[in-house]
Amino acid sequence: MDNIYVQLKEVIDRGSEQDVRAFLSNPENLAKFPPNVQAEIVGAFFEEQLENTGGSIGSVERFKDRGIEMAQELEAGKRTIEDVIKVKDIQEKLAG
């Protein structure tokens, strides 16, 4: 994993902004970063593209807010599923 950071630094040191973008947008390179860094990189590219395609600051903010809401809804759904699994496990242990 450290190797990808060394590679990125080399591109930054010797290349242009376009070279860095090409490096970061390459799926093979992107996959070498930890998931949280991948999400940040993809998010930055997405936000930039949204702004470049005419998205106003308000629409970008609404999009971000909706993304946060969806993440919270998914987390709540995940907890519900985990709770159902726990209940089923307990029921099976009591029945068995």
pLDDT of 8? 93
How would residue 55 be classed by pLDDT, with cut points 50, 70 and 90? low
Percent of the chain scoring above 90 in pLDDT: 30
Q: Would the CA dihedral through 82, 86, 91, 96 be positive or negative? A: positive
Identity of the residue numbered 90:
I
Distance CA 65, CA 84 (A): 29
What SS3 class is residue 50? helix
Q: Is the dihedral of CA 44, 47, 50, 53 positive or negative?
A: negative
- The pLDDT value recorded for residue 28 is 92
Are 30 and 38 a contacting pair, CB within 8 Å?
yes
**Per-residue pLDDT reduced to its tens digit, 58-71:** 666 777 777 788 88
User: Domain-by-domain residue ranges, the chain?
Assistant: 2-95
Other beta carbons within 10 Å of 80 = 10
